Amino acid sequence: MSTELLIDSAQDGSRIALLQDKSLVELHSDSLENQFKVGDIYLGTVRKIVNGLNAAFIDVGYEKDAFLHYQDLGPNIQSLQKFTKMVRNNNYSNYNLKGFENEPEIDKIGKISSILSKNNQVLVQIVKEPISTKGPRLSCELSLPGRYLVLVPFSDTVNVSKKIRSNDERKRLLRLITSIKPANFGVIIRTVAEGQSVTELDKDLRNLLYKWEEGMKKLMKAKSRDKIIGEMSMASSLVRDLLNESFDAITVEEESTYDQIKSYIRSIAPEKEKIVKLYNGKVKLFESFGIEKQIKSLFGQTVSLPQGGYLIIEHTEALHVIDVNSGNKSNQESDQESTALKTNLVAAKEIARQLRLRDMGGIIVVDFIDMKRAENKKAIYDAVKNELKADRSKHTVLPLSKFGLMQITRQRVRPEVNIVTKEVCPACNGTGKIQASILIADKLEKDLEHLLTMQNIAKVQIGLHPYLHAYFTVGLISRQVKWFFKYFKWIKLIKDSSLPVTEYRFEDESGEEIELTVKSETE
């Protein structure tokens, strides 16, 4: 499977499209306005402790205070607070935590008021961006993600991704990282670390330690609300998380972004540097690659499926609902069960794609076409699980219920991608109502009479919808001919399909529009 990344630039940021086999699977917006990204670490100030929620509200500079629950403090919050205080008071300059004595871990069930109090300064990391009316969601269990490893300060454990199945490889990685990691730092070994050499892993670990130390130097003189460690751009983080052997092209429209991406890839995978290309076409990047067309067809309420079926996707405050319909497929299979199974299998693939594409989170309920056989229901369940393996967001899929419904939960850390694909009707301007068509002809004739008799226009031609054109020109003694006998002037009628059926335009012989002048009643 080929994987491509397209980065389209605009004044307010950039759009990033992830393609697999030329098909759009993820669409991200890296807006300049979005200052609070998942992974950013801030120096926040406690504004309020709410004992009823066992949580605190933290000021990190967003218009609404961010939310920090007791469960998100992490077991080593007291070590973090002690270290933060020492750095802030210039009592500790060994930022790599060498010789630092950790404090005891806090209870899993406790009160946040025993740990934090109003006006405390605390290092916090954004784990969920502001969504709707809510501020950011925070954690004090800090982590710094790299390409192969995730660095966890104030911890000593080494964990290996569950997706690495080989016991020998798990043992190798565990032994290797345990031998090179510094004290007071925990490490999570990511799936992509499988098969990597000690040189690559050590390089990644050193980069993360350098990033931590630079952030702590900044912490020493930082003010409340300051960003201490910033996550890299959306484009770079996607490259970091997804870059593998199947990644065969990264096309960038803006030169500065091109230089940034190329420099980053040179530092993590020099052999892949040649896949980064600067786009110089005259047409916009997304237009050239057909992405705009895919966006228009994939973000609507109705999404077509290959071979004739379609999905209806509805979004509510509480959950998302997806309805699977067979469309005209019912004539292609020998029986109803076969039709349902085939359509549901095609829908399973598209549903997994839609979850990633729209970044839908929370509860998703899918109403598949009813099937009788248990083995067919299991086939749909297995298909959805298999298709969602490529999804990097945490998710849970439940088997089909007796009503044919599937429930999916998916972690949401950013606002859902919602692109309006409907266009305002030019005839009604979105109201759903137009002037009665039977009155249009009368109105046009009144305006024409005003132009010829009151404004004394010598030559007039009229641009109008083909439907109106036919109405005025049909028959031997058409309305157009009657105008000639009435005004002794031939009125030229021009078809213009761009005009709504309820609109028309008067022009002079050179094609310039003629404005109607309306006299006031007092004249």
Q: What is the pLDDT of residue 441?
A: 84
Quick one: what percent of the chain has pLDDT higher than 70?
Answer: 89
CB neighbours (10 Å) of residue 242?
16
Q: How confident is the model at residue 520 (pLDDT cuts 50, 70, 90)?
A: very low
- The residues, ordered by sequence, that sit 6+ positions from 270 with a Cβ below 8 Å of its Cβ are none
Whole-angstrom distance, CA of residue 140 vs CA of residue 82? 13
Question: Which tens digit of pLDDT belongs to each residue from 13-46?
Answer: 778 888 888 888 888 877 656 677 888 999 999 9
Question: Which tens digit of pLDDT belongs to each residue from 306-328?
Answer: 877 889 999 887 889 999 998 76
CATH of 40-229, one of 3.40.50.720, 1.10.287.3510, 2.60.40.1120, 2.40.50.140: 2.40.50.140
Phi, psi angles (nearest 5°) of residue 173: -65, -40
Q: Is residue 267 scored above 90 in pLDDT?
A: no
Q: What is the pLDDT of residue 43?
A: 94
* CATH class of the region 3-33+233-291: alpha beta
Q: How confident is the model at residue 192 (pLDDT cuts 50, 70, 90)?
A: confident
Q: Is residue 358 scored above 90 in pLDDT?
A: no
- The residues, ordered by sequence, that sit 6+ positions from 265 with a Cβ below 8 Å of its Cβ are 239, 243, 250, 272, 273, 275, 276
For residue 22, CA distances in Å to 26, 99, 237 come to 12, 52, 21
Q: Where are the domains of the chain?
A: 3-33+233-291, 40-229, 301-410, 437-507
Do 3-33+233-291 and 40-229 agree at the fold level?
no
Please write down the HEC assignment for all residues of 367-434. Answer: ECCCCCCHHHHHHHHHHHHHHHHHCCCCEEECCCCCCCEEEEEECCCCCCCCCCCCCCCCCCCCCCCC
Beta strands 395-397 and 362-367 are unpaired
Q: Is residue 446 scored above 50 in pLDDT?
A: yes
Question: Which tens digit of pLDDT belongs to each residue from 52-94?
Answer: 999 999 999 888 899 999 999 999 999 999 999 988 888 777 7
Query: Could you tell me the sign of the dihedral formed by the alpha carbons of 182, 205, 393, 413, in that order?
Result: positive
Question: Which tens digit of pLDDT belongs to each residue from 384-432?
Answer: 999 998 888 889 999 999 888 999 999 876 666 666 556 666 666 666 6
Phi, psi angles (nearest 5°) of residue 301: -65, -35
Whole-angstrom distance, CA of residue 203 vs CA of residue 200? 5
Q: What does pTM read for this prediction?
A: 0.69
Q: What is the pLDDT of residue 32?
A: 59
Question: Which comes out higher in pLDDT, residue 472 or 132?
Answer: 472
Least reliable range by pLDDT among 38-42, 204-208, 357-361, 427-431:
427-431
Alpha helices in 243-364 (DSSP H): 255-268, 285-288, 291-298, 336-358
